[in-house]
Amino acid sequence: MLAREGILEPRLTAEVLLAHAMHCERTYFFAHPEQELREVEWIHFGRYLDERLKGKPTQYITKKQEFYGRDFKVTRDVLIPRPETELLVEAVLKRRAEARAIVDVGTGSGAIAVTLALELKRRVMATDLSMEACLIARENAARVGADVDFTAGDLLNAFADSSFEVLVSNPPYVPLQDRATLQREVRDFEPALALYGGADGLEVYRRLIPEARRVLKPGGLLALEIGFGQAEAIAEMATKWRSVELLPDLAGIPRVLVCERP
């Protein structure tokens, strides 16, 4: 059924949804191939399959997504964390492992902030325009014991000048004009607030980069995830910063911009 509808990795998707219906790990199937489903498991499995066939992402059905080796709760109030965003985390860990004052802007599920707090074993600040996202992120932090303070607000309005040593962000960067070309799983289910960055996808960067200069201490690190084809335009916004680098993902596409406040 999944394959006929063009669902990517149909076998894996079926196993993940079945495991969710049975409240077990996928490895359980190989250890107990003879087990028959109970009626309630059939009912749940059927409902999950129906939702997936209608385009709902698997992560929103199971309400979880792995990021940096940890499971995070995700709902339709937050963007599903992507593997390429781990490059953003690694850029901060490599360049500012000693930093004490870190803020994650547009935290969503809290994946970046929680990961940095756990990996660096220190407190991290995080902010998001969506109160619903902050509540999900706070739940994720509490479940794994991460020391993160969450604030609902627009970008960095809540913070004073020269407050941080590191600012990290995966802002909305999809151009509105690209909406029709997105996969239906993204277009119809993930939150528009976390996806679209204005007509050209750069609207948030135009506000965030000057704001970052205000709240970062001299020499502070700015680390931003960027979208396909945006590297040149965003690097141009950072011409007055120093040590500007563009870091490629595994496909060789510029994915992260890092630079330091002069």
Question: Is the distance from CB of 170 to CB of 195 less than 8 angstroms?
Answer: no
Q: Is 40 helix (H, G, I), strand (E, B) or coil?
A: helix
Per-residue pLDDT of 157-184, as tens digits, reads: 989 898 999 999 999 999 999 999 999 9
Whether the per-residue pLDDT at 11 is higher than 90: the answer is yes
Per-residue pLDDT of 45-76, as tens digits, reads: 999 999 999 999 999 999 999 999 999 999 99
Indicate the domain borders of the chain.
10-54, 66-260
- Predicted local confidence at residue 29, as pLDDT: 87
Confidence of residue 33 (pLDDT cuts 50, 70, 90): confident
Domain spanning 66-260, CATH architecture: 3-Layer(aba) Sandwich (3.40)
Instruction: Report the distance separating Cα 49 and Cα 250, nearest Å.
Output: 32
Share of residues in the chain with pLDDT > 70 (%):
100
Mean pLDDT for the chain overall: 95
Instruction: Report the distance separating Cα 217 and Cα 261, nearest Å.
Output: 7
Confidence of residue 240 (pLDDT cuts 50, 70, 90): very high
Q: Is 10 helix (H, G, I), strand (E, B) or coil?
A: helix
Look up tokens 């277009």; give the residue: 187
Question: Long-range contact list for 90-93, CB < 8 A, 24+ apart?
Answer: 91/223, 91/247, 91/256, 91/258, 92/116, 92/166, 92/168, 92/221, 92/223, 93/119, 93/120
Compute the average pLDDT of residues 18-27.
93
- Predicted local confidence at residue 207, as pLDDT: 96
Per-residue pLDDT of 137-148, as tens digits, reads: 999 999 999 999
